[in-house]
């Protein structure tokens, strides 16, 4: 697990006490030399109950205000426990459209 991946995981665990959490480093799927530039978050937390999707994403953006100056892309999939049961998973990430990866 990369340093940034570990950091994001720890911060989300502290802030949201998620029942399910995945922090996926997708940097290798994208063009460029950066190894900690693209992350996908799947967060299931009761904290999200009664919060609109935009509010959930704003919370995470605020939580990682400093980190986002070093991260190129942060895909956020935020669910309540009930939503997670209905979805049974998060969508796949799109293919990189920026260069050398196929």
pLDDT tens-digit series, residues 57-69? 999 999 999 999 9
Number of CB atoms found within 10 A of residue 16's CB: 20
- Helix or strand run (H / E) with residue 77: strand 73-79
Angle (CA) 36-64-71 rounded to 5° is 25
For residue 78, report the phi and psi dihedrals to the nearest 5 degrees: -115, 130
Q: Output 97 or 57, whichever has higher pLDDT.
A: 57
pLDDT tens digits along 34-59: 577 789 999 999 999 999 999 999 99
In the chain, the domains with their CATH numbers are 3-87 (3.30.300.90)
For residue 98, report the phi and psi dihedrals to the nearest 5 degrees: -110, 45
pTM: 0.84
């Amino acid at each position: 697990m990369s340093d940034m991946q570990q950091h994001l995981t720890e911060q989300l665990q502290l802030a949201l006490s998620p029942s399910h959490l995945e922090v996926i480093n997708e940097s290798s799927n994208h063009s460029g030399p950066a190894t900690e530039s693209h992350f996908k978050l799947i967060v299931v937390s009761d904290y999200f109950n009664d919060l609109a999707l935009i509010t959930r994403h704003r919370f995470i953006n605020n939580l990682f205000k400093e980190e986002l100056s070093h991260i190129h892309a942060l895909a956020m999939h935020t669910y309540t426990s009930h939503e997670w049961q209905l979805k049974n998973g998060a969508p796949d990430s799109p293919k990189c459209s920026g260069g050398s990866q196929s």
